[in-house]
Structure 1
Amino acid sequence: MPARRSLKDRNKAAITGPVETPSVEPVVEPAAEMIQQTTAAPVADAPAVGERGAASPAVPETAGEPVTTTERGGPARRSQVLPAGTARLGLYLRQATLEGAKSAYVADLDILTNPPTSFARWIATALDTHAGRTPADRAKLAEAHPDPEEGKRGVNRAFILPVDTIATMEETTGIDRRAGRMQSVSQLAAEALRIAIEEARVRNGGSLPIAPKRLPNKPTR
């Protein structure tokens, strides 16, 4: 019969005995398919501070319909609605021609019985009148009304004109080219305006008023 161990021996055995290590369950790595499902979709980089985002493709303006353009990171901008039957025509004009046309328009508001009721309509009338002349008459009048600022830099301005007027001007440049006069639509338009300005000056007694910064539309008499 083995001797009974004392309390001192039992405590000593407990201290020096092997230490049990708790079992650890193996960690299972998630499959590639699960990683793709739980990973959020990448977000597009936002423009840096001071950098404008790329604008969306331009949409052509249509008469009677508003056009909205949107820049990334910016608000939508509503463009001008053009009246039906009109389009925007950009012209390169000398400053003297542009200012003279404004003065002629203001003078004609009081001189003509049925004057054009906007500056754009006055310009359209001048262009239509010039296009209605013969190539020989246009050449003769152009020689009599040379550009006083020939060689100086001009300004770009856009006008909302009837589509028929714009088409007629383009046709007229072709007619004049075949007659021996090479010029652009802007040159033809400037020529038409110089003639119309002088005609308004004659109607107004040889002078023209100074046009205000804000031109009147549909004035009451």
Structure 2
Amino acid sequence: MPARKSLKDRNKAAITGPLEEPTMESVSEVSSEPAVAPVVETPTQPVGERPVSEPVVAESTGESIGTVRNGGAARRSQTLPAGTARLGLYLRQGTLEGAKSAYVADLDILTDPPSSFARWIAGALDAHIGRTPADRAQLAEAHPDPEEGNRGVNRAFILPVDTIAGMEETTGIDRRAGRMQSVSQLAAEALRIAIYEARERNGGTLPVAPKRLPNKPTR
């Protein structure tokens, strides 16, 4: 039977014996480096090509026209009323100014005057379209261009698409009747006649048109 250890021996063994390691919980390793998002390469768009996400709507629909990029700069195109389109005309300066004066005179003469200069232009063109080829030829001879040979100016007007289509059709009708002329020449012819008629309605004179023409006049 082994001898019983004294209290002194037990204390000595406790001091010189091996130390027990403390118990630790398992912890997942966390990286100290920041997370980096994956890089996704996008194809480069060819120069001069418009993205398909930017549609362009025809002007005559009256719907909003999308943004068009021109040389990298974005611009918003004008929205036209439904059933209208822009028509560019080459007119003599005297014809253009005379039409403005006739429009101003008609604002006070006509019972139901047009509410804008463009509508007055459209009315003059529609009246000329409605004439026969023989009547147009006769009126054109009676109202020749007093500025024949002078340079003109380019102006664009927002007109009904039916009026524009009628002008193009009428040039074909007159061509087959022996009169060759462009849409601008036909329009100038129509305006000279309308100016003359407005002058007659106003007692033989026309007022000087202001630089800024009135729209939707009130009586």
Pick the TM interval, shorter chain: 0.7 to 0.9
Deviation at residue 63 of structure 1 after TM alignment: 2.5
Q: Distance in 2 between matches of 1:158 and 1:143?
A: 26
Q: Distance in 2 between matches of 1:55 and 1:126?
A: 42
Aligned residue type for 1:142: A
Deviation at residue 73 of structure 1 after TM alignment: 3.5
Residue 27 of structure 1: aligned partner:
none
In the superposition, relative to structure 1, how do residues 55 and 189 fare at CA in structure 2: closer, same or farther (>3 Å)?
A: farther
Residue 66 of structure 1: aligned partner:
64
Aligned residue type for 1:71: N
Question: Are the equivalent residues in 1 in contact too, given 2:60–2:81 (CA < 8 A)?
Answer: no
Runs of 4+ with deviation above 3 angstroms: 40-44, 53-60
Residue 21 of structure 1: aligned partner:
none
Q: Deviations over 1:143-198 (max 9, x none)?
A: 01010110011011110100111111111111111110000111000000000000
Q: Distance in 2 between matches of 1:206 and 1:162?
A: 30
Residue 89 of structure 1: aligned partner:
87
1:144-183 to 2 correspondences below 5 Å: 144-183=142-181
Deviation at residue 42 of structure 1 after TM alignment: 11
Q: Distance in 2 between matches of 1:89 and 1:212?
A: 23
Deviation at residue 64 of structure 1 after TM alignment: 1.9
Residue 99 of structure 1: aligned partner:
97
In the superposition, relative to structure 1, how do residues 117 and 54 fare at CA in structure 2: closer, same or farther (>3 Å)?
A: same
Deviation at residue 135 of structure 1 after TM alignment: 0.6
In the superposition, relative to structure 1, how do residues 214 and 55 fare at CA in structure 2: closer, same or farther (>3 Å)?
A: farther
Q: Distance in 1 between matches of 2:135 and 2:75?
A: 46
User: Could you say what the CA RMSD is over the residues aligned between the two structures, in angstroms?
Assistant: 2.5
Residue 134 of structure 1: aligned partner:
132
* 2:203 is equivalent to residue 205 of structure 1: yes
Deviation at residue 56 of structure 1 after TM alignment: 5.0
Q: Distance in 1 between matches of 2:179 and 2:158?
A: 27
Aligned residue type for 1:111: I
Q: Distance in 1 between matches of 2:126 and 2:84?
A: 14
Q: Distance in 2 between matches of 1:101 and 1:181?
A: 24
* Percentage of matched positions with identical amino acids: 80
Question: Are the equivalent residues in 1 in contact too, given 2:62–2:80 (CA < 8 A)?
Answer: yes
Q: Distance in 2 between matches of 1:124 and 1:41?
A: 51
In the superposition, relative to structure 1, how do residues 197 and 56 fare at CA in structure 2: closer, same or farther (>3 Å)?
A: farther
Q: Distance in 2 between matches of 1:116 and 1:159?
A: 15
Deviation at residue 71 of structure 1 after TM alignment: 2.6
Residue 109 of structure 1: aligned partner:
107
In the superposition, relative to structure 1, how do residues 163 and 41 fare at CA in structure 2: closer, same or farther (>3 Å)?
A: closer
In the superposition, relative to structure 1, how do residues 55 and 88 fare at CA in structure 2: closer, same or farther (>3 Å)?
A: farther
Residue 219 of structure 1: aligned partner:
217
In the superposition, relative to structure 1, how do residues 70 and 134 fare at CA in structure 2: closer, same or farther (>3 Å)?
A: same
Q: Could you state the TM-score of these two structures normalised by the residue count of structure 2?
A: 0.74
Aligned residue type for 2:122: A
Residue 194 of structure 2: aligned partner:
196
Question: Are the equivalent residues in 2 in contact too, given 1:106–1:211 (CA < 8 A)?
Answer: yes
Q: Identify unmatched segments of 5+ residues in structure 1.
A: 1-37, 45-52
Q: Distance in 1 between matches of 2:92 and 2:186?
A: 13
* 2:108 is equivalent to residue 121 of structure 1: no
Question: Are the equivalent residues in 1 in contact too, given 2:124–2:194 (CA < 8 A)?
Answer: yes
Q: Deviations over 1:6-51 (max 9, x none)?
A: xxxxxxxxxxxxxxxxxxxxxxxxxxxxxxxx9x99989xxxxxxx
